[in-house]
Amino acid sequence: MLQLTPFAPGWPKKVMQEVWIIDTARSPRGLGRADKGSLATLHPQRLLSQVLVALKERNHLTTEHIEHVIIGCGNPAGGQRGDIARMAALDAGWLQSSGTTVDHFCGSSLMATQFGANCIATGQHNLVVTGGIEMMSLPDKPNLATDQHNLHLRTKHPITAVGISAHVIATEEGFGREDVDAFAAESQKRAATAISRGYFQRSIIPIHHEDGSLALSEDEYPRPGTTADSLGQLKPVFADFMDYPMDDTHTFGEVARMKWPDLEIDHVHHAGNSSGIVDGAAALILSSPEYAAANGLRPRARILASASVAGSPEYNLNEPVPSARKALAQCGLTVADMDLFEVNEAFAVVPLRFMKHLGVDHSKLNANGGAIALGHPIGATGAMLIGTLLDELERQDQVRGLVTLCAAGGLAPSMVIERL
């Protein structure tokens, strides 16, 4: 049990209560293209609402008891703006549920889940639903200039495109084209096996159009049959991006060279070894033990610890390593105590670096593939990974696991869970 630090000398210490994960659910991942994606015609609120309703119904929740809905969204624009957490809760019929939307880039839904867990741990709430939503098929695309064209900030921290940062990391860490392509091919292979064997079916909620017809019931991004040889034929994406204007002041390459003026960057990433652009939504039910016992809810896991760290915004993607270390230290565990890991595959170099620095064997990491094969709905991925981890812990009859993601600006949340 963790203890809160007193705010002032003489304050009594307050023991925090456990936080239980009752259940998780997600939509299938649809192609993030308006012209092809099977989810692209849905309103974002409706996509998320369908996941909320299904999760409530299969766990027989009392609507009036859901105190707060906390949802991550990495690009709260277009139909995703206006506190989508509250709007989706209303669409689901949850009139008395407060709603809060969290923007933490790719870590949005994992941070939303941390916030929800904190509400329960401190006794503020007893029943919270957390999760995430991202419709990447929307015409309102994220601004690729992370600094939003703040030139004063740029002089302090020249933050280039995350893909260029990925190439810098690969260059400095010594990961070549063969390394990242081999990792990507394995991600596709594992995802294809998981799909064919139905490993994702417990969590996936079929999504329907307004007329009741089926929109999508399984992930549509994977490319089974992908090999390292076929990936080797693809041209690196961000080499040309170096000359692309960030704005009227600089190109992305010029900003990168402010940080790394003498580095000869090896451009190794392309569409096949980077995360896929997809639509998707996910949600979790979090409960206090007392509420769960009183209302007949059976927990699947408990949250042992969570962490959020920040580091170099120029590197963008390096912080899952210190974030994982911090979360493990908080619950007195080590890498060796973890049975499985889910590390978001924003780019292949991210999990490769994670394994290198923490000594994690690939057999324990992303057992069913990751975002390279399945896609990365920015604001929803963290919540999806918690569900994927929990499903796989149960399938393998294992106990503990860790989830982490890199996020733009040098951010990374992480969480350690344990089956009950």
Rg value, the chain, Cα: 21
Rounded CA separation 412/281 (Å): 20
Angle CA 343–85–82, to nearest 5: 115
Rounded CA separation 344/250 (Å): 30
73 neighbors 108 (Cβ within 8 angstroms): yes
Angle CA 362–415–138, to nearest 5: 90
Task: Tell me which residue of 196, 174, 191, 102 sits closest to 376, measured CA to CA.
Answer: 191
3-class secondary-structure state, position 162: helix
- 376 included as an active-site residue: yes
Rounded CA separation 48/39 (Å): 11
Residue of 125, 269, 270, 376 marked catalytic: 376
Provide the pairing of β-strand 411-419 with 301-310: antiparallel
Helix (H), strand (E), coil (C) string for 93-151? CCCCCEEEEECECECHHHHHHHHHHHHHHCCCCCEEEEEEEEECCCCCCCCCCCCCCCH
Rounded CA separation 65/291 (Å): 10
Residue of 73, 106, 119, 167 marked catalytic: 106
Rounded CA separation 307/354 (Å): 16
Burial class (CB in 10 A: 0-12, 13-18, 19+), 153: middle
Residue 127: CA count within 13 A, CB half-sphere: 24
Q: What is the DSSP letter of 278?
A: E
- 119 included as an active-site residue: no
Return the biggest CA–CA distance within the chain.
Answer: 66
Rounded CA separation 411/399 (Å): 27
- Tell whether the torsion through CA atoms of 332, 103, 299 and 126 is positive or negative: positive
Rounded CA separation 164/161 (Å): 5
In one-letter notation, the amino acid at residue 361 is: D
- 73 included as an active-site residue: no
Query: Which positions are annotated as active-site residues?
Result: 106, 376, 406
